[in-house]
Every structure is written in structure tokens, then in C-alpha cells.
Amino acid sequence: MKKITIAIDGFSSCGKSTMAKDLARKIGYVYVDTGAMYRSVTLFAMRNNLFNEDGSVKTTELEKMMNNIQISFVFNNETGRPDTFLNGELVEKDIRTLDVSSHVSKIAAIPFVRKAMVAQQQRMGKDKGLVMDGRDIGTTVFPEAELKIFVTASSKVRAQRRFDELKEKGMPTDFNDILKNVEERDYIDSHREVSPLRKAEDAIELDNSNMTILEQSEWLMQKYTAACEKVQ
């Protein structure tokens, strides 16, 4: 069967990665979480003191150091998803903290950061057979993707999901802080100049506020089957 490219975009914490990862596992595709890449650059910037007191980024310094940032993924058999490595160090847990979440939108809005990440993402997908989730996959990274999904859910539902996820990982955080962060990121991600978050014209929209993970999974599998039938 011909392999296709699957782009899953949408707001933060709306369950994109759960859906994307499950589908990839079922159909034997590679899964790439592009948010983890922007989070890794953010962690690098935080560790190297590249944020000013006012929260802005020391862009000149960061640009000079971009070549020192190597991001890679290694599949973890136990969790069933790829672990993120920054310069060879496992950073999967460090990139998911609220501290990184509250700095990442500033990093993701920088044009030279996006250019470098998009180039790496396009290299990863050159042979198709991958499910990639993010904000600009269907619009910028793979505008020719055979299947594009745009996922939404209310900000409260998304904050609750992130709250549950952090609690489960043993990283409890205040619900209202998470909600504030989710809403701030929605705003910054949709209003930035380069590749703002928006639905591609040919993307299928899914509001999963009231859906179970199983229902989403089945819905996505149907869309995948239909997209494959179209290209055979």
C-alpha cells in the first residue's frame, strides 16, 4: 500500500499527540511530535541563560548557537512513544514542565528557529509514512499531506487534560496556572507573524471536547482509511 503523510495540527493540549501516536503505532508509521522540538530549543535557551529578565529572548546569541542544538528521537518500547534527546541527553521529562511551557511560545515565534525546525521536519518526512503533530504541519511543513486534521477543544477541557497528565507524571501543578498558560499560548501561537496556528483549507476539523480517546482513535482510523483509498 502506498504510504501517505498525515499532518495533525491544533491548539495545545487537545490530545493531538495521543491520537497521532496511537495511529502511528497501529499503521506502522513513524510519529513525530514537533512541539517537543520547540520545547527542546526552549530548554536549551533556558539552560544557557538566553532569556532576558522581561521574558524576551536574546536572539542574537541564540542564533549563533543554533548549530549547537541537535534534537533527536528514539523510540521507547515501554511507553510506546519516542523519547526526545537534546544533544544526546534524554530530556523527555524536562521539556514538559510548566516552566518550559511558559517560555516556549516566545521561542516558537522566532523565524530562524522555525526555519531550522521545519527543515529538519521535512527531512524526517521525505519518504512519507509518518504522522506528524504540531501547529503548522498542514500549512507549512507538509502542505501536500494527503491527510490533514485540525483538532480543537475548549480551553478548560485542555487545561484539565494537561493537569491530569502532569499529576500522573508526579509533577502536580495548579489548575489555574495551567489554564492561564493554555490561553496565553493559544493567543501567541495564533497571532505570531511566522506560520501562525490556523486550519489549512483542506484540513478536516475535529472538536474532541466530548469524545473519549477510543472514539477519537476510531474517527481518525476512518479518515486514514479514506485518505489511503483516494491515493491508491
Task: Give the binding site for ligand DC (CB under 6 A).
Answer: 12, 34-35, 38-39, 104-105, 108, 134-136, 185, 189
In whole angstroms, give the CA distance from residue 33 to residue 21. Answer: 9
Give the number of other Cβ atoms within 10 Å of residue 36's Cβ. Answer: 23
Question: How far apart are CB 95 and ligand DC at their closest, in Å?
Answer: 8
Q: Does residue 212 come out as left (phi exceeding 0), alpha (psi in the -120 to 50 range) or beta?
A: beta
Question: How far apart are CB 229 and ligand DC at their closest, in Å?
Answer: 28
Question: How far apart are CB 51 and ligand DC at their closest, in Å?
Answer: 15
Measured from the CB atom, the residue of 40 and 225 that comes closer to ligand DC is: 40
Give the number of other Cβ atoms within 10 Å of residue 143's Cβ. Answer: 14
Measured from the CB atom, the residue of 92 and 189 that comes closer to ligand DC is: 189
Measured from the CB atom, the residue of 81 and 185 that comes closer to ligand DC is: 185
Measured from the CB atom, the residue of 148 and 185 that comes closer to ligand DC is: 185
Question: How far apart are CB 33 and ligand DC at their closest, in Å?
Answer: 7
Task: Extract long-range pairs of 67-72: CB within 8 Å, 24+ residues apart.
Answer: 69/40, 69/41, 69/44, 71/36, 71/37, 71/40, 71/41, 71/120
Give the number of other Cβ atoms within 10 Å of residue 173's Cβ. Answer: 17
